[in-house]
Amino acid sequence: IIMLPILVIKVFSGLTFTCHLAEYQIGNECCPMCLPGSRVRTDCTEFRSTSCRPCLEGTYMNKATGLKQCFPCTNCDEGSGLKIKRLCKTTSDTVCEPLEGFYCVDPSDNGCGAAQKHRSCEPGQYISQKGTASTDSVCSDCSDGSFSDGTFPSCRPHTQCETKNLQLLKPGTTSTDAECGEHSLNKTIIWISVSASVVLIVISAAVVFYFKDNITSLICPGKIYGNSLSE
């Protein structure tokens, strides 16, 4: 009967046993924590204090701790669309940020945990809002009379063939421009002009050769009647 109150007191005192904020509990002892950038080597006892050691390379501890191992540094994986913004130190973790063309889908106070590639707009759409490191791209549809291949910041109006004195060969769509070409009449005129030029050149060449031969025979008759003169 006497032991029961003592047992209750011990249980109650165990439930209310707390350490200071800069201490951690080991059994019935409150040991001083190790500073940021370090970890516990050996716990304290009633005869000695906590002993600490620095974090190993590639690990960190960003707060006072009673742990015997530091946290591993985060790897900014380029395959996941991340790059290093700030290198890991013994007192702070690596800070990651999205690569160019990616945006963060898992933001945190210490950077970005995961990134995703910006959306690609389809042909017939334009990029109405360019993606940033924190937001995705926004695409919008082109209206009639304009087009985009999906990479334009705004839709472009279809080429007006008539204003260029050209014939419409293929109407434009929301993803392609109109196709223009020469009028059939213009092609015929061009063909006739080229043909006439060729004929004129041939005739001119024939006339030149004709007169050249006649002039040569008048100036040097011996070349033509050489045998008769020598007799």
pLDDT single digits (tens) 34-87:
999 999 999 999 899 999 999 999 999 999 999 999 999 999 988 889 999 999
Q: Which residue segment(s) compose the domain that 129 sits in?
A: 118-182
Long-range CB contacts for residues 55-62, cutoff 8 Å, separation at least 24: 55/90, 58/88, 59/90, 60/88, 60/89, 60/90, 60/91, 60/92, 60/93, 61/34, 61/36, 61/37, 61/90, 61/91, 62/36, 62/91, 62/92, 62/93
Domain-embedded: residue 127: yes
Question: Residue 105 belongs to a domain with what CATH number?
Answer: 2.10.50.10
pLDDT of residue 188: 61
pLDDT of residue 100: 95
Low-confidence ranges of the chain (pLDDT < 50): 1-14, 224-231
Report how far apart, in Å, the C-alpha atoms of 229 and of each of 108, 217, 218, 220 are.
114, 14, 15, 12
Question: Which of 118, 136, 138 has its CA nearest to residue 128?
Answer: 138
Helix (H) or strand (E) holding 26: strand 23-26
Same domain, 39 and 93: no
pLDDT of residue 186: 57
Last residue of a domain, one of 164, 182, 200: 182
Domain-embedded: residue 198: no
Same domain, 137 and 171: yes
Measured distance CA(141)–CA(156) in Å, rounded: 12
Number of domains in the chain: 3
pLDDT of residue 120: 95
Same domain, 79 and 95: yes
Inter-residue contact 62 to 73 (CB < 8 Å): no
